[in-house]
A and B are shown apart, each in its own frame.
Chain A
Amino acid sequence: MLPIVLLSVFGIVVLFLGFSKSKNILLPATLLFLLVTLIANFVDWNHQYLYFNDMLWGNNASMVFSGIVLLSAFFVVALTRGFEQEGEAAQPAEYYGIMLFSLVGAIMMISYENLIILFVGVEILSVSIYILTGSDKRNLRSNEAALKYFLMGAFATGIMLFGMALMYGATGSFVISDISEIIGTRAWNEQSQLLYAGLLMLLVGLLFKVSAAPFHFWTPDVYDGAPTIFTAYMSTIVKTAGFAALYRLLAGSLASLQDYWFATLATITVLTLLAGNVTAVYQTSFKRMLAYSSISHAGYLLIALTSLTAKSQSSILFYSLAYSLSTVSAFGVLILVSQQQASNNYDAFNGLAKKNPFLAFVLAVSMLSLAGIPLTAGFMGKLFVFTDAAQKGTIWLLVVAILASAIGIYYYFRVLIAAYFKEGDLATIRIAPFYKVVLIIVTTLTIVLGLFPDLVLQLV
């Protein structure tokens, strides 16, 4: 509860700080606020809590999920550099404020006990992201992306709300644990059809948010159109929060119905893996490739969710963390390079390693992690996720996933080939010290977690 309150207050404070003459105060203030919230997030450590009339629920796992979201937000905010380069039209105070507000939504999605809180959380997060997507007001692509996202998001929200209503109709409750209890009294094939329709629609709504196929079509356009820094923001935060919410829903109240939803979710998983990985092969833009990569990682995360074993939660948690870290560093490098080259394409990276060995290394670690090469966090994440599937016994799903990750290597390595083996005239890029520190931390974490995954897993 504390982080939600703090973030709301801090958001307002940041908005009003925007009126002060010195714009330089905004970035440090926001970082400080995020740090305070990150610490406050763990005050309930080792306690299971229920707040707001049993609306919010939390335990260590949900605190770690919130921690991942806050940490990713911290890194992304650190990479904004105060929006200095965005020009006159930029409204740093509003961006930071909206980012803080969106985190409120994300934390609600992670630790809801009542479906209404889930809905409110999804909306707070989504609306914030709509605005951030369209924040580049003079850019048509940014506007298009925002509008597209908004229209489709509204549609998905409608479906989700409908699903919640139907579930309420079937069970008479919005509370996760109550629903679970009511469902538990009957076998899975004796439930009311209302409940099934409801849960399917609710799932569709949430799957839209995490961009699972066939509800993923917005993703490439929106990721591509949004300012890069906000693409990084939404690809990490929305995904983590979305999967935490999905896990909470499936494990918290619908676990006994696994036989029912398994086939549907498994099909969606396969579709997502294929749609993400195969389409990514054809892209020429690095940024757009990362959008497809985000779809494919949703697919991997869905594997853990579909299998829903005792270890699924820690797998999802670790995978989200690994994915967030690698994504942040990938976008961090992309921002610098695209600024220099005025392009997001693979060609922009040509010859990066020659004059910018540091950036090339950061990029390499991040790509290796995303591709799931050993000694990186990404590998461990994939390993855990695949173990879940193996434990559930869904070998065919595993085969598809492994083929998909083989395809993944192709497009992740393309940028590395450009950076290391192609000739290019990229000049040395000046990196602000703080920016560099963030990249170093993220890269180090990626490697350290690849070697000692227990550092995070033992928290749960």
Chain B
Amino acid sequence: MYSDFGQILLFIIVAIAIIGAILIANKIIRPNLPNEEKLTTYESGEDPVGNANVQFNARFYVVALVFVLFEVELLFLFPWATVFGRPELIAQTNGRWGWFALGEMLIFVGILSLGLAYAWVKGYLDWIRPEPKKPDYALKIPKDLYQKINQKYSTHR
């Protein structure tokens, strides 16, 4: 018959077939009324103009990193969950299996939480809020001069 890779091939074929079918179905069913706004790359309104090499705020990456971290954590939790509650394993080990598996996952999650806590305490999770600085340069013109001028012109109005 076919090897294990055969199944993957089937998956690929089916995936391509389904996507193709859906796209074709779309093409047939949908109304086709293009306008300029609809044809832009990002419909969200972001204008794709200029160099792609622009600088983004570094905070994006920190948040993205933390996000990826917990994504991976979740990914690990799934296979763990499938073996955590297996009755036959629990029975075989007289109940210790559950505790053991739980403990292992707690350590794993604990380390990640520690990392999160560290990032939090360090302030990496705070978004930079621009703090307007008061200019502190000294003027040669005294302040009351301005006031005088203001007063002068305010009376004439």
Query: Which residues on A are within 8 Å of B, measured CB to CB?
Result: 12, 15-16, 19
A12 nearest CB neighbor, chain B only: B114
Q: Does B128 contact A (CB under 8 A)?
A: no
- Whether A19 contacts B114 by the Cβ 8 Å rule is no
Query: Which residues from chain B contact A16 at a C-beta distance below 8 Å?
Result: 114, 118
Query: Which residues from chain B contact A19 at a C-beta distance below 8 Å?
Result: 121
Can you list 6 contacts pairing A with B, beta carbon distance less than 8 Å? Answer: A12-B111, A12-B114, A15-B118, A16-B114, A16-B118, A19-B121
C-alpha gap A16/B111 in the complex (Å): 12
Q: How far is the CB of B81 from chain A (nearest CB, A)?
A: 20
Q: How far is the CB of A1 from chain B (nearest CB, A)?
A: 15
Query: Which residues from chain A contact B111 at a C-beta distance below 8 Å?
Result: 12
Query: Which residues from chain A contact B121 at a C-beta distance below 8 Å?
Result: 19
C-alpha gap A15/B121 in the complex (Å): 11
Bitwise, B31-46 to A at CB < 8 A (1) or not (0) is 0000000000000000
C-alpha gap A19/B114 in the complex (Å): 13
- Per CB-CB distance, the 5 closest pairs between chain A and chain B, nearest first, are A15-B118, A12-B114, A19-B121, A16-B118, A12-B111
B111 nearest CB neighbor, chain A only: A12
Query: Which residues on B are within 8 Å of A, measured CB to CB?
Result: 111, 114, 118, 121
C-alpha gap A12/B112 in the complex (Å): 11
B118 nearest CB neighbor, chain A only: A15
| Interface of chain B, main secondary structure | helix
C-alpha gap A19/B119 in the complex (Å): 12
C-alpha gap A19/B118 in the complex (Å): 9
A16 nearest CB neighbor, chain B only: B118
Query: Which residues from chain A contact B114 at a C-beta distance below 8 Å?
Result: 12, 16
C-alpha gap A259/B121 in the complex (Å): 57
Query: Which residues from chain B contact A12 at a C-beta distance below 8 Å?
Result: 111, 114
Q: How far is the CB of B115 from chain A (nearest CB, A)?
A: 8
Query: Which residues from chain B contact A15 at a C-beta distance below 8 Å?
Result: 118
B110 nearest CB neighbor, chain A only: A12
Query: Which residues from chain A contact B118 at a C-beta distance below 8 Å?
Result: 15-16
C-alpha gap A15/B118 in the complex (Å): 8
C-alpha gap A16/B121 in the complex (Å): 10
C-alpha gap A16/B118 in the complex (Å): 7
B117 nearest CB neighbor, chain A only: A16
Q: How far is the CB of A21 from chain B (nearest CB, A)?
A: 14
C-alpha gap A123/B121 in the complex (Å): 27
C-alpha gap A12/B111 in the complex (Å): 9
Q: How far is the CB of A58 from chain B (nearest CB, A)?
A: 23
C-alpha gap A160/B114 in the complex (Å): 32
C-alpha gap A12/B114 in the complex (Å): 8
Most buried by A among B111, B118, B121: B118
Q: How far is the CB of B83 from chain A (nearest CB, A)?
A: 14
A15 nearest CB neighbor, chain B only: B118
Q: How far is the CB of B89 from chain A (nearest CB, A)?
A: 16
Q: How far is the CB of A146 from chain B (nearest CB, A)?
A: 15
C-alpha gap A12/B118 in the complex (Å): 9
C-alpha gap A12/B121 in the complex (Å): 14
Q: How far is the CB of A191 from chain B (nearest CB, A)?
A: 22
C-alpha gap A108/B88 in the complex (Å): 34
A19 nearest CB neighbor, chain B only: B121
A9 nearest CB neighbor, chain B only: B111
Q: How far is the CB of A16 from chain B (nearest CB, A)?
A: 7
C-alpha gap A16/B117 in the complex (Å): 10
